[in-house]
């Protein structure tokens, strides 16, 4: 069943000569600096409801099991690769992506690069965490004003009343940028479904970024990130939640990589 309800190409900035098709995604081949600049350009274009996704290995595994999600990624205004295994795979397959662009790096880079006042809304994380992140953001970034935060209850998107309440709070604030931290694929599904009602110029599906900005969670050391071991750090930090996920990814991702190689090997 198609997830698109009419305007399937809400992506005015997509450039066909700067793509890498991998694992069902069409990645924008951008560095972190260029991706952050692209986000700021999207803020300045006409209209609302453009959104950014940052697929990693887990997203690729989810997409392989739920192909109907492909339209959500195809409609994104920006698709950047979060995860060194994706980058390494792109190089091995001759579709080289320049570098990893994680949501937790992209959001601070956008804030730091803003040359004018931008209104930002934070949605996600546990109660109180988004407000803590807001306080730190406004202290650190002179051009960023947080115009609202909320931590909707678990399953809010499945109830029309709580869903509409969450949407209205964002729409009333009319932010330039909505940082969405609901986890994948929930945040991507919700951004796609509600993008035109939310009133945000751009929505960044950013996972645990709000927690990182608040200081509630600490990212892996830089050496872990450089060697592609951030997943191991997170598994040690949250074994109950992350170990089953990564175990499934470790089994499935090599199969996906083999399929990509076979596609290229066919005459």
Whether 266 shows a pLDDT value over 90: the answer reads: no
Report how far residue 194's alpha carbon sits from residue 190's, in angstroms, rounded to the nearest whole number: 6
Q: Is residue 186 part of a domain?
A: yes
| Its pTM surpasses 0.75 | yes
pLDDT at 9: 43
**Average confidence (pLDDT) over 108-114:** 98
* Residue 234 pLDDT class (50, 70, 90 cuts): confident
pLDDT band at 267 (very low <50, low <70, confident <90, very high): low
Q: Is residue 232 assigned to a domain?
A: no
* DSSP assignment letter at 152: P
For residue 88, pLDDT beyond 60 = yes
pLDDT digits (tens, 9 = 90+) for 182-226: 999 999 999 999 999 999 999 999 999 999 999 998 887 887 777
Higher pLDDT, 107 or 235: 107
Say yes or no to pLDDT of 12 above 70: no
- DSSP letters along 197-245, please? HH--SEEEE-TTHHHHHHTSS-PPPHHHHHTT-HHHHHHHHSHHHHHHH
**Per the domain annotation, does 1 fall within a domain?**
no
Instruction: Please state the rounded mean pLDDT for residues 127-137.
Output: 97
Roughly how many angstroms between the first and final C-alpha of the chain, as a whole number?
31
**Other C-beta atoms lying within 10 Å of the C-beta of residue 154:** 8
Over residues 1-5, the mean pLDDT reads 49
Structural domain boundaries, residue 23? 19-220
Determine, yes or no, domain membership for 173: yes
Question: Can you name the residues that pair with 180 across neighbouring β-strands?
Answer: 123, 205
For a pLDDT cut of 70, what percent of the chain falls above it? 93
- Confirm whether 104 is domain-assigned: yes
Lowest-pLDDT choice from 7-16, 34-43, 92-101: 7-16
Number of domains present in the structure of the chain: 1
Say if residue 11's pLDDT is above 70: no
- Whether residue 40 is contained in a domain is answered as yes
What's the mean per-residue pLDDT of the chain? 90
Query: What distance in Å separates the CA atoms of residue 40 and residue 57, rounded to the nearest whole number?
Result: 26
**Model confidence band, residue 141 (pLDDT cutoffs 50, 70, 90):** very high
Burial class (CB in 10 A: 0-12, 13-18, 19+), 93: middle
pLDDT surpasses 50 at 14: no
The predicted structure's pLDDT at residue 3: 58
Least confident interval from 34-43, 208-217, 226-235: 226-235
Whole-number pLDDT of residue 10: 54
Asked whether residue 50 is assigned to any structural domain, the reply reads yes
The answer to the question of residue 4 being in a domain is no
């Amino acid at each position: 069943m198609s997830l698109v309800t009419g305007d399937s190409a809400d992506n005015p900035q997509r450039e066909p000569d700067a793509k890498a098709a991998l694992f069902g995604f069409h990645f924008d081949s951008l560095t972190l600096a260029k991706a952050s600049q692209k986000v700021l350009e999207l803020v300045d274009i006409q209209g609302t409801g453009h959104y950014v996704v940052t697929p990693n290995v887990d997203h690729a595994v989810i997409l392989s099991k739920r192909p109907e999600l492909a339209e959500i990624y195809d409609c994104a205004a920006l698709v950047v690769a979060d995860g060194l295994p994706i980058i390494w795979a792109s190089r091995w397959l001759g579709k080289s992506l320049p570098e990893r662009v994680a949501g937790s790096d992209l959001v601070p880079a956008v804030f730091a690069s803003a040359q004018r006042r931008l209104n930002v809304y934070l949605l996600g994380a546990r109660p109180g965490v988004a407000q803590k992140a807001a306080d730190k953001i406004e202290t650190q970034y002179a051009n960023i004003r947080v115009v609202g935060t909320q931590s909707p209850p678990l399953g809010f998107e499945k109830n029309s009343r709580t869903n509409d309440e969450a949407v209205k709070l964002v729409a009333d604030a009319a932010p330039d940028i909505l940082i969405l931290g609901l986890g994948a694929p929930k945040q991507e599904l919700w951004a796609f479904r509600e993008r035109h009602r939310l009133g945000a110029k751009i929505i960044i599906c950013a996972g645990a970024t709000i927690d990182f900005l608040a200081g509630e969670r600490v990212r892996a050391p830089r050496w872990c990130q450089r060697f592609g071991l951030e997943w191991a750090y997170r598994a040690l930090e949250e074994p109950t939640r992350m170990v089953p996920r990564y175990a499934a990814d470790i089994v499935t991702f090599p199969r996906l990589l083999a399929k990509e190689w076979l596609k290229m090997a066919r005459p």
